[in-house]
Amino acid sequence: MVDRIINWLYGVIARPASTLNEVAKEKPVGWALLVYLGVSLLSGAASIFGPGFGAAEEIMQEFAFFISPAVLIFGGLPFTIAALFVSTLLVHLFARLFGGTAGFWNLFSAYCFAGFPMIISIPVTLIGSLIGAPGVILTSLSGFALAVWVLVLNVIAIRESHGLTTGMSILAYIIHLVILLIIPLVLVALIIAAIISL
């Protein structure tokens, strides 16, 4: 099984469509979650040494509090898991609404593997921390490029798992993003309204 996982990880980068299609059919849910959380934890650990973390430390010192790197990395793990499930569920619901045929775990598995290229951010972040000011530019540009890459892979994961057209897959993804943006705004508005009414 390990050989297949390694092959899938390579395939996500080299031949994403066929690989994500196979992952969606096989549904390696446990391995998929492990890949996603592993990349998230390692990326978070690398960011602690990144060129932008020093500014965050200065802000914490300004307000006389400090959060250890371990707490920052592992403390966000429950939120990461919750966000993954909510995001996947929303995409799945809209994909089914548009005629998709896959089950939730089919999409979930492909979705988790689609985030694997973010592993590239780890060496880039560490290199960026060694070269000073240019490192900030390097990590910012690479971060943007990787985000776009993973976004495209997410759309491919939707298409390959649900059997939708590329256009419908993009639409499902965009609608889910809009909802994820609206929910925090609504919550903030409700909190502000509650504070004003006091």
The whole domain housing 94 covers 2-197
Q: Are 39 and 119 in contact (CB under 8 A)?
A: yes
For 121-124, which contacts have Cβ atoms below 8 Å and span 24 or more sequence positions? 121/43, 121/46, 121/146, 122/42, 122/43, 122/46
Calculate the alpha carbon distances from 23 to 11, 48, 152 in Å.
Answer: 10, 32, 16
pLDDT value at residue 64: 46
Angle at 50 between CA 48 and CA 55, to 5 degrees: 85
Kindly give the confidence (pLDDT) of every residue in the chain, 198 residues in length, as a single tens digit, with 9 standing for 90 and above: 788 999 999 999 999 999 999 999 999 999 999 999 999 988 877 777 665 545 444 544 554 445 555 566 666 788 889 999 999 999 999 999 999 999 999 999 999 999 999 999 988 888 887 887 787 788 889 989 999 999 999 999 999 999 999 999 999 999 999 999 888 888 888 888 888 877
The whole-number pLDDT of residue 149 equals: 96
What local confidence, expressed as pLDDT, does residue 125 receive?
A: 84
Is 0.75 topped by the overall pTM? yes
CA dist list (Å): 129 to 27, 48, 55, 135, 173? 38, 10, 13, 6, 33
DSSP 98: T
Task: Specify the pLDDT at position 95.
Answer: 96
Structural domain count of the chain: 1
Structure-token match 């690989």, residue found: 19
